[in-house]
Structure 1
């Protein structure tokens, strides 16, 4: 085969390859000799079918297999002979009008990874902001826990229900006079004023007493998740079985025992540990951003635009999802468009930081062990249904790119930990508010640097923080950015936070498991 370089500019390379027809025919002849002993044909003994008949029977398939395998081999040879390190999968195109019996021509276009010199790591200086957890914060956490786990006791039968009271009700819902599936529940618990049910439902129960029966008329929201009910009027026949009032919650050993703990001291210890873990996570984020800022400030090399494009597409897709969930999607999208170039600068910064971390890791023999990788795969498999887990694990083992995607975040953390060990770290005690403000400030400065523009407006900061956070999302693998999803992680966290706000309603709604039961549930 003939390989000719046709482009060599910056990180871009291109090659023209010719595979002679005689080489293709030779490959087909070789394959015919291999399969001929297994070919069966009426009138011939097994293994005695003439080669020309084998070619006639299987020629098209043999030709396609030969050309495809020779194309793969030519691409591999091009990479090896020219010592190329592709940034992403090379683009390979076969010349138009190719026919059997003719030379096959193809072109290869790719971007190579830049030569990155491992940066010096002996002069790193990082200030570690720490937040001590006080007794007051522990008690505040216990108070919130008590607020979220209120107890209720039966009220007198003459008690009229008010906001904050809990009702135990049976209800049956109808649309156009017909009961709908799941629109019925018995012994459903509803706290008035909680907003658990669709608008208007709870308001009409204010003032009811134990034993009352009442018909409620409501209209499902236009955006209700069960589309067959959206915008429709419904009637609910409600029986109030019990009105309950909030009981007094004493924060003592008995309260702690409700959570399966030995006593209040154990609960305090548990919550203190959780608060310390949370603030430690914030401290690590602050340190990591400071570290990456130092690395980024000292390096400004060209990066493969294909990787930047893929990274930007990933960021942009997440931002669009966030915009769709915003109060004014159209206005949010317009703001995004106005700052599109800044997001692209963030994507470029992330790719550059990823290449830097990768080089540092390789230069210092930072590795993810097979045991660590096995644990990662098992943890990721838990996200799937039991019947799909084995298939997922096989997929990861067979697809190097998928395995690299799974490995990348842990590899990055290990490189960052290595750099923390090398850095000169000084500690400063601050409040949680000061720590969070420091993280926001570092983030704003980093976002402004790539574009050398004014930092984005304050109202845009949350979007960039969660969908394009440079420090959480820096790549530590020399792999296609499109295959990695760190931006999703940040956006998913925001989504989880929103879901968390709705959890009480989800737990207490009358009919969570059946579509129609959700009729009275806002969620």
Structure 2
């Protein structure tokens, strides 16, 4: 095999690689001899089919496989002989006009990883912002859950806003019942906005035993095309009218959530709050550490790695911007600062390379057990029938495995560096801790400060680490009741059985890897 270097500029390398025709033909002949005993052909005993007939039957496929194997081995030899550390998979092209019996001329181009002097792991100074979990914070969480686990008690008289009705309903389009438009003893809270517009309002004043027929028009964007924008009627039978009652936070309340006592519920909530604040504390320390690491190193990074990182950031940003109320303005904002996001991508790549060097120099590893867990978790995003194929793909593709391993590996290196750092502690409030994280998130890759207030899409892109940063937020009325909801955030405690007449859930962007700035 002949290797000729054609480009050596910065981190870019290019080569022409010639694989002799004899190398490929020897592989073909060897494969024919290997499979010949297994070939079956009328007129010949098993294992006695002549080689020339085997070649005629399977020669094209065998040659294709032999050429592919030869190219793979040639790339391995190129990397080994030239002591290359490819940043990404090399771009390999087979010369035009190649045919069986000729030498295979390959054009190979790639970018290599830069040579990085062993980074120092001494001298990092970090401030650990701690947040004690107060009884008041636990009580607030209890009250938030109680407010979303609203209880209702039977009442006499007409239903008012805030009351719950237990109803049967039958939907009809042009006088004919439609699929999914019928339910029995369904709960409905007037004013909750869970059903399509106009449905709940027309039941104000209803009493137990009432029968009504109401007319409503489905939204234009309703998922069921046969109902979207159509005027329909619903026959209603009211079984009960209930008024909201105060939720008493006691052992019975805890038992309704699947727990044994209020003490257990309180303990779970306190543990959750401690875990959340610990995550925020680590986020702040990680950002400070990476800022110090980035400030001390400046070297060229492979453009292809930067571009791949940038495209990942940009994809998330555009998806989030498109989900904004004023999508056009949000898209214009991120477009105006596109160069800043490229700098963020470059910073991430540089930090990733630094952390990799530090980890390798200090024996930080991701165990085979941890890798198996990562693969299993990642496989869950695929259909059941595709999960095994994904696992095999990662196991056989070093680049894919490296991409899957990278986040955990970098976190392990960060933890290693935090242990080596000089750490001082300072007690703050949760609000102060979050403010410190937000302030840091608005610093771009060149350490120039951006305004504190940004569009939601911009803020999401600037985050460096989102661990435990979520707050209890908007209601999620489509969630099914969860018996163990007590230990979750308040927005996971909402219950309610979905009825066809309810509003469709808001569309969400596909789940993607967060655009976190390291």
The answer to whether 1:24 aligns with 2:24 is yes
Q: Tell me the residue number matched to 1:352.
A: 350
**Structure 1 residue matching 2:146: 3-state secondary structure:** helix
Contact 2:479/2:496 (CA < 8 Å) preserved in 1?
A: no
Q: Tell me the residue number matched to 2:486.
A: none
Q: Tell me the residue number matched to 1:485.
A: none
Q: Tell me the residue number matched to 1:316.
A: 314
Question: Quick one: which of 361, 366, 370 aligns to 1:368?
Answer: 366
C-alpha separation in 1, matches of 2:135 and 2:253: 18
C-alpha separation in 1, matches of 2:146 and 2:291: 42
Q: Tell me the residue number matched to 1:155.
A: 155
Contact 1:196/1:522 (CA < 8 Å) preserved in 2?
A: no
Q: Tell me the residue number matched to 1:197.
A: 195
Q: 1:3 to 1:209 in 2, by over 3 A?
A: same
The answer to whether 1:337 aligns with 2:332 is no
Q: 1:236 to 1:509 in 2, by over 3 A?
A: farther
The answer to whether 1:469 aligns with 2:467 is no
Structure 1 residues 14-413: aligned runs within 5 Å: 14-39=14-39, 49-156=49-156, 159-380=157-378, 393-413=391-411
Q: 1:81 to 1:375 in 2, by over 3 A?
A: same
Contact 1:211/1:242 (CA < 8 Å) preserved in 2?
A: yes
Contact 2:166/2:238 (CA < 8 Å) preserved in 1?
A: yes
Contact 1:3/1:15 (CA < 8 Å) preserved in 2?
A: yes
Give TM-score, length-normalised by structure 1: 0.86
**Structure 2 residue matching 1:518: 3-state secondary structure:** coil
Count residues in correspondence. Answer: 494
C-alpha separation in 1, matches of 2:69 and 2:7: 25
C-alpha separation in 2, matches of 1:497 and 1:185: 30
Contact 1:443/1:465 (CA < 8 Å) preserved in 2?
A: yes
Q: 1:498 to 1:91 in 2, by over 3 A?
A: farther
C-alpha separation in 1, matches of 2:273 and 2:500: 35
Q: 1:237 to 1:16 in 2, by over 3 A?
A: same
Question: Quick one: which of 490, 494, 501 aligns to 1:519?
Answer: 501
Contact 1:396/1:402 (CA < 8 Å) preserved in 2?
A: yes
**Structure 2 residue matching 1:294: 3-state secondary structure:** helix
**Structure 1 residue matching 2:500: 3-state secondary structure:** helix
Q: 1:423 to 1:42 in 2, by over 3 A?
A: same
C-alpha separation in 1, matches of 2:99 and 2:199: 72
The Cα RMSD (Å) is 2.9
Q: How many Å apart are 1:175 and its aligned residue?
A: 1.8
Long gaps (5+) in structure 2 = 482-491, 506-518
Q: Tell me the residue number matched to 1:455.
A: 450
Q: How many Å apart are 1:62 and its aligned residue?
A: 3.1
Q: How many Å apart are 1:322 and its aligned residue?
A: 0.9
Contact 2:478/2:496 (CA < 8 Å) preserved in 1?
A: no
Question: Quick one: which of 413, 431, 444 aligns to 2:442?
Answer: 444
User: Which range is displaced more, 255-264 or 143-152?
Assistant: 255-264
Contact 1:21/1:103 (CA < 8 Å) preserved in 2?
A: yes
Contact 1:350/1:470 (CA < 8 Å) preserved in 2?
A: no
User: Which range is displaced more, 40-49 or 208-217?
Assistant: 40-49
C-alpha separation in 1, matches of 2:461 and 2:50: 64
C-alpha separation in 2, matches of 1:24 and 1:389: 35
Q: 1:251 to 1:35 in 2, by over 3 A?
A: closer
Question: Which structure has more helix as a fraction of its residues?
Answer: 1
Q: 1:18 to 1:519 in 2, by over 3 A?
A: same
Q: How many Å apart are 1:116 and its aligned residue?
A: 2.0
**Structure 2 residue matching 1:4: 3-state secondary structure:** strand
Q: 1:258 to 1:296 in 2, by over 3 A?
A: same
Contact 2:442/2:462 (CA < 8 Å) preserved in 1?
A: no
Q: 1:101 to 1:282 in 2, by over 3 A?
A: same
Q: Tell me the residue number matched to 1:479.
A: none
- 1:483-503 per-residue CA deviation (whole Å, 9 max, x = no partner) reads xxxxxx99xx79x96684654
Q: 1:216 to 1:15 in 2, by over 3 A?
A: same
Q: Tell me the residue number matched to 1:476.
A: none
**Structure 2 residue matching 1:519: 3-state secondary structure:** coil
Q: How many Å apart are 1:472 and its aligned residue?
A: 5.5
Contact 2:321/2:330 (CA < 8 Å) preserved in 1?
A: yes
Contact 1:16/1:108 (CA < 8 Å) preserved in 2?
A: yes
Q: How many Å apart are 1:280 and its aligned residue?
A: 1.1
Contact 1:381/1:389 (CA < 8 Å) preserved in 2?
A: yes
- 1:26-71 per-residue CA deviation (whole Å, 9 max, x = no partner) reads 4333434444444555565655555444444443333323322221
Long gaps (5+) in structure 1 = 474-488
Give TM-score, length-normalised by structure 2: 0.87
- 1:375-423 per-residue CA deviation (whole Å, 9 max, x = no partner) reads 4444455666767665655555444444434433322221111111101
Contact 1:308/1:348 (CA < 8 Å) preserved in 2?
A: yes
C-alpha separation in 2, matches of 1:183 and 1:77: 66
